[in-house]
Amino acid sequence: MSPPHLRSYQDRIQNHSNPATRALLHVMVKKKTNLSVSVDVTRKKDFLAIIDAVGPYICLIKAYHFLFRHQVSAYEPDDKTHIDILEDYDPSVIVELQALSQKHEFLIFEDRKFADIGNTVALQYSSGIYKIASWAHITNAHAVPGPSIITGLASVGLPLERGLILLAEMSSKGSLATGAYTEDAVRMARARRDFVIGFIAQHRMEGIGARDTDSLGDEDFLILSPGVGLDSKGDAMGQQYRTPAEVVTECGCDVIIVGRGIFGTGRDIDVENVQRQAQRYQAAGWEAYEKRLAI
């Protein structure tokens, strides 16, 4: 059997039992897109305008709830505000995000990067102000706490048909997510394929860290890759960019994650330009995927 990344997204649906994975692959096939847009902006108006503009061209929106500033009264403790920076957050943001998800047929990926013990992350995922599990189809986590983080998140997410992405590699210069860390992250995922659907990574992960007793015949993890750009190779903060061809065709990744390359600074949005850039990245990502299948 050929490696999973050399098979079509349509054919790979049968490899997955997790509903979030199957839904994402269905959307990718239907819309002919492997583009995810990372909307890291600080104003509700810009956040929703970008999502509405790129919606027709994407399979996944990557949101980050820490960018949402909860409006608190003067009597509420300050520790409720240090985690987020969206200047005008209110609960309607999530309602409108869900409406856009249905309107444009994309899934929501909350870039939460959980990194605590199982009981704590279960509460963070299910409760509090944001109740992430109630609206995000997919979320992610660091592997640092060990397998208990998956157990905790799965106790909340599985009944809601959610999926989890583990951070196996990162696109920033000098990242420590390499070697033994990456191998251990993949081993953790391999043990919980009912809930862990893939990785944030720069390359394919099948077979990484495998032991002699592991069964790898049907292993198929989705690889979501950030740090994708058509016009820049990096920024002043250590981000490194690769082209869709490098990411999808050469390295076998499944979803390209693009942010500033589509919407720039995120202020005073030029909707027409955002749409043009989204179309440009959608076309480049899909062309890279089709070239991969032809190899």
Helices (H) and strands (E) in the chain, counts: 10, 8
Q: Please tell me what DSSP assigns to residue 218.
A: T
Name every residue whose Cβ is closer than 8 Å to that of residue 272 and which is 6 or more positions away in sequence: none
Q: Residue 255, SS3?
A: strand
* Residue 24 and residue 223 in contact, taking contact as beta carbons nearer than 8 Å: no
* Residue 122 and residue 152 in contact, taking contact as beta carbons nearer than 8 Å: yes
Angle between helices 44-54 and 271-293 (to 10 degrees): 50
* Residue 269 and residue 263 in contact, taking contact as beta carbons nearer than 8 Å: yes
Report the distance separating Cα 291 and Cα 202, nearest Å.
18
The catalytic position among 113, 131, 233, 291 is 113
Report the distance separating Cα 263 and Cα 38, nearest Å.
10
Phi, psi of 171 (to 5 degrees): -95, 0
113 is known as an active-site residue: yes
> Could you give the C-alpha distances from 241 to 36, 38, 64, 65, 202, in angstroms and in order?
15, 14, 20, 24, 11
Measured in whole angstroms, how far is the alpha carbon of residue 201 from the centre of its chain?
A: 10
The half-sphere exposure of 268 on its side-chain side, counting CA atoms within 13 A, is: 0
Cα–Cα nearest to 290, from 7, 85, 1, 4: 7
Enzyme catalytic residues: 113
